[in-house]
Amino acid sequence: MPELRKDPIVARWVVVNVEKPYLPQDFNVSPFSWKGATGCSFCTNNEHLTPPEIEAISEVHRAPNTPGWKVRVVPNKFPALKIEGTLDKQAMGIYDMSNGIGAHEVIIDNPDHFKGIPELTDIEVEYILKAYRSRSLDLRRDRRFKYLLIFKNVGVEAGASLEHGHSQLIALPMVPKNVKEEVKGARHYYEYRERCIFCDMLAYEAENGHERIVMENENFVSFCPLSSRFSFETWIVPKQHSIDYAEIDDNRIKDLAKILKETLYRLKKVLGEHPYNYIIHTSPVNTDAHFSYHWHIEIMPKLTRVAGFEWGSGFYLVFTPPEIAANYLKEVK
């Protein structure tokens, strides 16, 4: 009999296949067919192919838009939203409308076309995380923005249109639905229990034999949540309650770089090259504080397709129970 589990934050049920769990090789994941670096606008020496850079991290002195960078942030050439203009929200019959004000930036993770995060050095991953922080701190000074979404798509199946490793930041003029739900769920729990739901999730895992914990260091835990939506879904959560990613200090960035790199490395070892997304879940900006929220990173391997059942219900089918997924990830050397 499969098991139903309810996510305590957003009240989403998932169906966990505890009877005949899929092993990593049971997923029909085909390795990426790399097109290669030719003409890639994110590669070093092709700096002229992107719009002028917004910011870059470099270990050497360099002129903007020239080689020598470690991480480079540029405006998205085909932005989902546009930064120029006054935000104009209005009603249209029964609908609410707005012009498409926002920002859409690309964080080029590193100059090498073929390196993913597991192939970078710890310090190179720190640079990426520092670029996330710095862009988040800069963009929130624009009071039109209410949410700064940082995410990464890897592989065509996960929606990546370019194969050179990169992350994206989209600044939104309203708090998006999914964030509202999570923030609301955390607040409800906090109001009732006077504790943070994310802190309680970590405590629950620690008290229950660390079954779903992949690894931890001084400041972070990486684990497969009991009510994961996706097989091999893994979250990285700061141990100390903290609502806002951008408040992370350099010392914690070191720990986060290590655990992020190592977790992605283990996922790659177990699943082979596979499509995935990761998303930084953090609190809204330029709005009320959300003390009951707790920022974290959700890594979502895309090993199966979302179909009518998921779209129609919001239920998800989990083919590998998180306990078993975590065990695979734990065993990687």
Which residues would be at the binding site for a copy of itself (CB under 8 A)?
1-6, 8, 10-13, 15, 80-82, 85, 93-101, 147, 149, 151-153, 156-160, 168, 170, 172-174, 176-179, 181, 197, 200-201, 204, 207-208, 226-227, 277-279, 281, 300, 305-315, 317
Least spacing, CB of residue 8 vs a copy of itself, in Å: 5
Asked whether the CA dihedral 204, 126, 245, 276 is positive or negative, the reply is negative
Asked whether the CA dihedral 259, 286, 96, 170 is positive or negative, the reply is negative
Q: What tokens does 157 get?
A: 């199946």
Q: Which residues pair with 209 in a beta bridge?
A: none
Least spacing, CB of residue 157 vs a copy of itself, in Å: 7
Residue 220 near residue 245, CB atoms below 8 Å: no
If phi over 0 gives left and psi between -120 and 50 gives alpha, with beta otherwise, what is residue 46? alpha
**Taking the CB of residue 291, how many other CB atoms lie within 10 A of it?**
13
Identify which of residues 71 and 154 has a Cβ nearer to a copy of itself in the complex.
Answer: 154
Residue 241 near residue 199, CB atoms below 8 Å: yes
Active site residue 166: yes
Asked whether the CA dihedral 52, 140, 300, 263 is positive or negative, the reply is positive
Least spacing, CB of residue 311 vs a copy of itself, in Å: 6
Identify which of residues 254 and 281 has a Cβ nearer to a copy of itself in the complex.
Answer: 281
Amino acid (1-letter code) at residue 120: L
If phi over 0 gives left and psi between -120 and 50 gives alpha, with beta otherwise, what is residue 159? left
Name the catalytic one among 104, 113, 164, 166: 166
Q: What is the DSSP string of 149-188?
A: EEEEEESGGGT-S--S-EEEEEEESS--HHHHHHHHHHHH
Least spacing, CB of residue 282 vs a copy of itself, in Å: 10
Least spacing, CB of residue 4 vs a copy of itself, in Å: 4
Q: Which residues pair with 82 in a beta bridge?
A: 101
Identify which of residues 63 and 307 has a Cβ nearer to a copy of itself in the complex.
Answer: 307
Identify which of residues 60 and 307 has a Cβ nearer to a copy of itself in the complex.
Answer: 307
**Taking the CB of residue 129, how many other CB atoms lie within 10 A of it?**
24
Count the alpha carbons within 13 Å of 295 in the hemisphere toward its beta carbon: 18
Identify which of residues 69 and 132 has a Cβ nearer to a copy of itself in the complex.
Answer: 132
Identify which of residues 49 and 306 has a Cβ nearer to a copy of itself in the complex.
Answer: 306
**Maximum pairwise Cα distance, the chain:** 62
Least spacing, CB of residue 176 vs a copy of itself, in Å: 4
Catalytic positions are 166
